[in-house]
Amino acid sequence: MAKTRPNNTPKLALAVLASAPFAWLVYLIALEIAQPTSGLGPEPAEGLLHYLGEWSMIMLLVAFSITPVRRMFKQPLLARSRRMMGLFAFAYVALHLLAYIVLYVESSWQLLLEDFVERTYITAGIAGFCGLLVMAVTSTMGWRRRLGQNWLRLHKVIYLVVPLALLHLIWLRKDGFGDIALYILWFAILLGERVYQVRTSRSTAT
């Protein structure tokens, strides 16, 4: 009997959407190379870092939204996109970190260490990145099998990563907190949905 093939359309659509900011960045860099300051603004290094930072935050929240959205709108197919969206978030954060290492501290580990110790927003950013790194490395089926129940416990680190990313943003921003308020609201709604799920599953179990 022929096997029914899984419907990959939602996953593919999400992959295209998540790649679009990167494709746009490549276009902005091409503009920048053709005519300096035309693609990334008057401070190209800052423009690049901020662009990647904003998309890191958005991708992180999108990845964190997959499970609640799947539950709320009864879309089981979305479950298969969770790992992919997590890896997209990790990729944007890794590029953001790379831009910081190359353009801000000019590949000096000494300067990076100084920033890590002296600037709380860098400490929070690096701690958040480390959490995401652990999640990305252990996201494979092999690690899932090896870690068993501990895999779920380990991946709860996302509940630390998002607040660390928000703290990073709050501590570095000097004015204009509109987008941060929106990110906090988004995160609070997702947390609220999870608390509601845990409570209702406990009350039906008793």
Q: Is 88 in the site for ligand HEM (CB under 6 A)?
A: no
In this chain, which of 64, 88, 129, 187 binds ligand HEM, going by CB under 6 A? 129
State both tokens at 27.
Answer: 């276009």
**Nearest residue (CB) to ligand HEM, 72 versus 111:** 111
How far is residue 86's CA from residue 61's CA, in Å, rounded to a whole number?
Answer: 9
Q: Is 66 in the site for ligand HEM (CB under 6 A)?
A: no
Q: Is 64 in the site for ligand HEM (CB under 6 A)?
A: no
How far is residue 184's CA from residue 2's CA, in Å, rounded to a whole number?
Answer: 47
In the complex, least distance from residue 157 CB atom to ligand HEM, rounded to whole angstroms: 12
Q: Is 86 in the site for ligand HEM (CB under 6 A)?
A: no
Choose the stretch contacting ligand HEM; rule: CB under 6 A; options: 21-29, 143-151, 165-173, 185-193.
165-173
Question: Which DSSP state fits 74?
Answer: T
> What are the start-end ranges of the H helices in 35-157?
44-72, 82-99, 109-118, 120-137, 141-147, 149-154
How far is residue 159's CA from residue 137's CA, in Å, rounded to a whole number?
Answer: 17
Q: Is 53 in the site for ligand HEM (CB under 6 A)?
A: yes
Contact 138, 90 (CB under 8 A): no
Q: Residue numbers of the site for ligand HEM (CB under 6 A)?
A: 46, 49-50, 53-54, 56-57, 60, 93, 96-97, 100, 104, 122, 125-126, 128-129, 165, 168-169, 172-173
